[in-house]
Amino acid sequence: MLKVLVVDDEPDLCNLIAEELAGEGHDVACATDGAQALSMATGTDYDVVLADVRLPKVDGLTLLRQIRERAPATDTIVMTGHANIPAAVAILKEGAFDYLTKPIRVDELGIQMSRLETFRRLHRDLADARAKLAATTTEAQLIGHSPEIQRLIKRLTAVAPSDASVVIRGESGTGKELVARALHEGSARDAKAFVAVNCAAFPDTLLEAELFGHERGAFTGAISRRVGRFQAADGGTLFLDEVAELSQAAQVKLLRVLQEGTIEPLGSDRTIPVDVRIVAATHRDLRKEIAEGRFREDLYYRINTIELTIPPLRERTGDLPILVNHFIRRFSNRKTPTTGLSWRAWSAFEGHPFPGNVRELMHAVEHAVLLSGGGEIDFEHLPSAITGAGRHPAADTETILPLAEAMRAFERGYLLRTLADFDGKRAVTAESLGISRKSLWEKLRHHGVPETEGTEPQVT
């Protein structure tokens, strides 16, 4: 429900709109001139002022400017005839939420109210996010308040103080190393080193030297003695990322070290005791890897006392506002701070599946912050992977999509780009695309930009 002030110098029209909005459950008041509206808006916390462009005593543009100064939390939607659309556009540039053309259609009015409610809810979520993020004091802090991430945090908190080995499962970009660092920081080993190694980054010929170290001259290129990752992590935590990518030979060597608790650097006959907690991560199903003969079962049980699974971002969409705010704060320039996202940018974020998960979102926000140059992030500041611009999905070099899926992705991107070109105006966008407004609303809802349909008569 919204608290609405309707302002129009035609009392019958003002009352008719008010009755329609009240019938939808909103709390509505009326004013018949700009001065009266300004007085009412100053003394009452309205969510939105719905005002005609041309008003007696105080015109629409002046009213908007005064409301923004006296009641900055109040949004404004302007009403205008076709002849005054340039004036409405000028008011939009001053910060109005949107405009409606007369005669006012009931369905369009309902859609605007629904969209505004969603937008204001997102801003409340962002305000809550700012308050919660203000208490964040560690780089290993997990960001999110969805049930999925809270279950993970609860399980992580219970496991962290022990020395139990942990396997972290999750898609690429979900934050597996972040979880591993949180495990380390929550343990009694936090004063010692956290050492990470990507098992997929080294060929077998170098992995053993990387993990266990080597003496000078142990192999070609070994021009000096080097301490391995196990020894560097002694007393702390060793994070083995992409552990499923280890070859069978490397798995055997790793298993022996874990069983014996000692390492032997290449080129040396010395055995060195090491005390490390093993945290491993993979995007693969290790049980399936075992069944297909690619991963040793004995190594699996050695490293997998506890398994933690990180949900992909698409399964924790309730965390999107707090994550976006976190990254805006992280990348925003102090001199020209980024203030938030427009509703068009929010729609694009909410409609994107984020196959790259939180890492993709982080890069997208950084990209948008840089292009926006401060102030509000808008649709055109987002990466083409999110807006759908710049490439045809079927031509992606990494994935060939089924034709129906590719056509759907293309349509979504094209609709969002066209909508952005017309400043989010549904009616003008539909006309330019040669389709009805109802068809446009249905398509946007189908593509993750939900709108309320309506075929009710006009309010004249």
pLDDT single digits (tens) 222-234 = 667 778 899 999 9
Torsion of CA 337, 339, 340, 341, to 10 degrees: -90
Helix (H, G, I), strand (E, B) or coil at 249: helix
In this prediction, residues 205-215 reach a mean pLDDT of 82
Strand partners of residue 27: 3
Q: What is the DSSP string of 340-371?
A: EE-HHHHHHHHH---TTHHHHHHHHHHHHHHH
Q: Look at residue 289 in the predicted model and tell me its pLDDT.
A: 95
Greater model confidence, 293 or 140: 293
Q: Do the Cβ atoms of 282 and 167 come closer than 8 Å?
A: yes
Shared fold status for 3-102 and 316-446: no
Greater model confidence, 280 or 18: 280
In this prediction, residues 198-224 reach a mean pLDDT of 78
- φ, ψ at 419 (rounded to 5°): -60, -40
Sequence-separated (6 or more) residues with CB below 8 Å from residue 250: 199, 204, 207, 208
Q: Look at residue 132 in the predicted model and tell me its pLDDT.
A: 53
Strand partners of residue 338: 375
Query: pLDDT class for 67, splitting at 50, 70, 90?
Result: confident
Predicted confidence (pLDDT) per residue in 96-137, tens digit: 888 888 888 888 888 888 888 877 777 776 666 555 545 444
How far is the CA of 337 from the CAs of 117, 135, 322, 324, 367, in angstroms?
25, 20, 17, 14, 14
Domain ranges of the chain: 3-102, 147-313, 316-446
d(CA 436, CA 426): 10
What element of type H or E holds 16?
A: helix 11-23
Top mean pLDDT of 106-120, 328-342, 348-362 is at 348-362
Sequence-separated (6 or more) residues with CB below 8 Å from residue 45: 3, 71, 73, 74
Q: Look at residue 406 in the predicted model and tell me its pLDDT.
A: 66
> Is pLDDT of 303 > 80?
yes
The amino acid present at 249, given as its one-letter code, is: A
In this prediction, residues 389-403 reach a mean pLDDT of 46
Query: pLDDT class for 88, splitting at 50, 70, 90?
Result: low
Question: What is the chain's alpha carbon radius of gyration, rounded to the nearest angstrom?
Answer: 29
Query: pLDDT class for 198, splitting at 50, 70, 90?
Result: very high
> Is pLDDT of 48 > 70?
yes
Alpha helices by DSSP H, 195-279: 204-212, 229-232, 248-260
d(CA 357, CA 121): 23
- Other Cβ atoms less than 10 A from the Cβ of 175: the count is 24
> Is pLDDT of 287 > 90?
yes
In this prediction, residues 429-451 reach a mean pLDDT of 76
d(CA 239, CA 279): 5
Q: DSSP state, 372?
A: H
Q: Could you check whether the bond before residue 103 is cis, i.e. omega within 30 degrees of 0?
A: yes
Q: What is the CATH number of domain 3-102?
A: 3.40.50.2300
Q: Do the Cβ atoms of 211 and 266 come closer than 8 Å?
A: no
Query: pLDDT class for 381, splitting at 50, 70, 90?
Result: very high
Q: Biggest alpha carbon distance in the chain?
A: 96
Query: pLDDT class for 392, splitting at 50, 70, 90?
Result: very low
- Other Cβ atoms less than 10 A from the Cβ of 343: the count is 18
Q: Domain 147-313 - what CATH class?
A: alpha beta
Share of the chain above pLDDT 90, in %: 32
Q: Look at residue 41 in the predicted model and tell me its pLDDT.
A: 85
Sequence-separated (6 or more) residues with CB below 8 Å from residue 430: 436, 437, 439, 440
Query: pLDDT class for 51, splitting at 50, 70, 90?
Result: confident
Domain 316-446 has CATH 1.10.8.60: yes
